[in-house]
Amino acid sequence: MKNKYSIFSLIKNAFSGHENWQRAWRDPEPKKEYDAIIIGGGGHGLATAYYLAKKHKMTNIALVEKGWIGGGNTGRNTTIIRSNYLWDASAGLYDHALKIWEGLSQELNYNVMFSQRGVMNLAHNLQDVRDLKRRTHANRLNGIDAVWLNTEEVKKFCPIINTSPSIRYPVLGGTLQRRAGTARHDAVAWGYARGADEMGVDIIQNCEVKGIKRNGDTVEGIETTKGFIKTKKIGVVAAGHSSVIANMAGIRLPLESKPLQALVSEPVKPIIDTVVMSNAVHAYVSQSDKGELVIGAGTDSYVSYTQKGSHNIVEETLRAILELYPIFSRMKMLRQWGGIVDICPDASPIISKTQVKGLYINCGWGTGGFKATPGSGDLFAHTIANDEPHKLNAAFNLNRFVSGDLVDEHGAAAVAH
């Protein structure tokens, strides 16, 4: 049983120089067999393991991770959370996640620093205005909070934005989702890991999957750098490397993996207390609790697994940031990095069974997976445990690429995809 984190445990441990904190999760060796194995120790994978154990009482399960937990895209995103998607299926999926976010710190007894500071999406041309207004109405019909702001209201909500009509892409208005915001990405991975570990889930780090063993159309287990592990159910949550894992099981996915970049500035005093996104000029910015500006750039246009990204992409984003926020013109950028995102042709995720029995896949989150972490884990756990999708992820099946029933969020979400 894990000790509860509280103000009292904090004071108690302060007196002993913080040297006696209980270990947050074990470092077990893999058993010979599990009821289910999750491949990938990012937020989505850890959340899946957590909900499998918590809601579906599957505690004889393992999660294998080739590096360390939260070391992939979970630790590389810009931590933005929102649910203002256009289509009903997406709205249902992302708002399910947002509702879990709202109580997540309490549920996990782990402060994920969820901050509902609002997300504002800017419109820079007439088509943006039409699309964003349409999305606002669609959101409200789905019970998701959304309001349209005119240029003056945008300026009032975030005074540092340059709303001059003379800039190259003037701000014509924007939408605001007040329940949206940010969270601390590492804490999400650590909180779910701690919770899953407490219920008996084996989290096995530095364990790379080398092969998936099949007997006909059924899975039998995985070959790893720590030996063969037998199982009847495998959940693949490998983000940018989903195609690599799927290839081991002999199936193909409709994915392309590309580097997506982000960067942070030197830390400064509080200057922007919300998240502002702009799709037309591709710039989005928020400020971390440490004071760094967190800036998201775009993807490279070609497949690559390098986790770097091209310089011209950063240049384009900073150009747009500078025009929208002239106050940042003397900021120094501190760090830049890339993560490999797996993008579906319709820019919507796949949370689905596959043609191989016992093989489940959760992928295709593209450039926007972090916000969905709790919902994705919950729904994927449901799909694995029941061998059937939940009604909220039924539309996000792999078969939609055969049936043609796509969830086309590419232009519809009005954000960076």
- Identify which of residues 95 and 346 has a Cβ nearer to another protein in the complex: 346
Say how far apart CA 189 and CA 279 lie, in whole Å: 28
Provide the b/e sequence for 140-168 (b: ≥16 CB within 10 Å).
eebebbbebbebeebeebbeebebeeeee
Please report whether residue 211 would count as binding another protein according to CB under 8 A.
no
Say how far apart CA 24 and CA 315 lie, in whole Å: 40
Residue span binding another protein (CB under 8 A) among the ranges 33-41, 73-81, 197-205, 397-405: 397-405
Please report whether residue 1 would count as binding another protein according to CB under 8 A.
no
> How are strands ordered across the β-sheet holding 275-278?
147-149, 173-177, 119-123, 275-278, 283-287, 293-299, 256-265, 333-343
Please report whether residue 311 would count as binding another protein according to CB under 8 A.
yes
Please report whether residue 244 would count as binding another protein according to CB under 8 A.
yes
What sign for the dihedral angle of Cα 384, 388, 393, 398? Answer: positive
Instruction: Tell me if residue 4 falls in helix, strand or coil.
Output: coil
Please report whether residue 362 would count as binding another protein according to CB under 8 A.
no
Please report whether residue 254 would count as binding another protein according to CB under 8 A.
yes
Pairing, β 218-224 against β 209-215:
antiparallel
- Identify which of residues 21 and 305 has a Cβ nearer to another protein in the complex: 305
Please report whether residue 206 would count as binding another protein according to CB under 8 A.
no
Q: Give the relative orientation of helices 185-198 and 43-56 as an angle to the nearest 10 degrees.
A: 30
Q: Which of residues 326-345 bind another protein (CB under 8 A)?
A: 342, 345
Pick from 105, 136, 257, 376: which binds another protein (CB under 8 A)? 257
- Identify which of residues 387 and 405 has a Cβ nearer to another protein in the complex: 405
Please report whether residue 312 would count as binding another protein according to CB under 8 A.
yes
Pick from 256, 292, 378, 409: which binds another protein (CB under 8 A)? 256
Q: Which of residues 27-86 bind another protein (CB under 8 A)?
A: none
Pick from 302, 329, 330, 332: which binds another protein (CB under 8 A)? 302
Q: Which of residues 282-301 bind another protein (CB under 8 A)?
A: 301
Beta bridge partners of 149: 174
Q: Give the relative orientation of helices 88-108 and 373-386 as an angle to the nearest 10 degrees.
A: 100
Binding-site ranges for another protein (CB under 8 A)? 241, 243-244, 247, 252-257, 301-306, 310-312, 342, 345, 401-404
